[in-house]
Amino acid sequence: MLAEQWAGAPLTAVVNNAGQGADTTLATTDADTLDALYATHVRGVYLLTQALTAPENGGALLADGGAVVLLGTGLTRFVHVGRDAYAAMKGAVDVLTRYWAQELGPRGIRVNQVAPGPVETAFSGWEGNEQVRRVFADGTALGRSATADDIAGVIAGVLDSGAAWVTAQRIEASGGYRL
């Protein structure tokens, strides 16, 4: 049992930041790609959160009154061809946010989702590419693409005690991309 192995104080927050991309279309996505995306973005997130929150499964390492943040994507609102399989898995995260907020709410555990828009990181595949950066920047109300620090700040804000009345929300951090 996970809780029996943990020697530290109960956790106050869990941030599920699973990431694996796939740049394929409906015609080119194979079963292995779908399975890998599902394993990362749905199964892994589900089982980790279960292990940390479910007392009946030996979990409950997340303290009552704690918070869970799931990382989603702006791609569930706006479309980029070739990202449908990835976006579909993150759509499941969208649904889990609301269900888990309802289920964990009686313990005072808040569950929210942060859904980034274009973020210049190694994961995005265009880090340092000025041409791609400009295309995304031109599509935002703020005139730039995000950095990892931008998204980290949103996550920290959601976890802050000042957001204690916020749960079951999808908070898009896109700089106003494709309004």
**Residues identified as active-site:** 86
Residue 28, C-beta contacts closer than 8 angstroms, at least 6 positions apart = none
**CA atoms within 13 Å, Cβ hemisphere of 42:** 15
User: CA angle at residue 135 from 143 to 142, to 5 degrees?
Assistant: 10
Run of H or E including 60: none
Strands, E assignment, 29-119? 62-71, 110-116
CA distances for 172 relative to 17, 116, 153, 154, angstroms = 15, 6, 13, 9
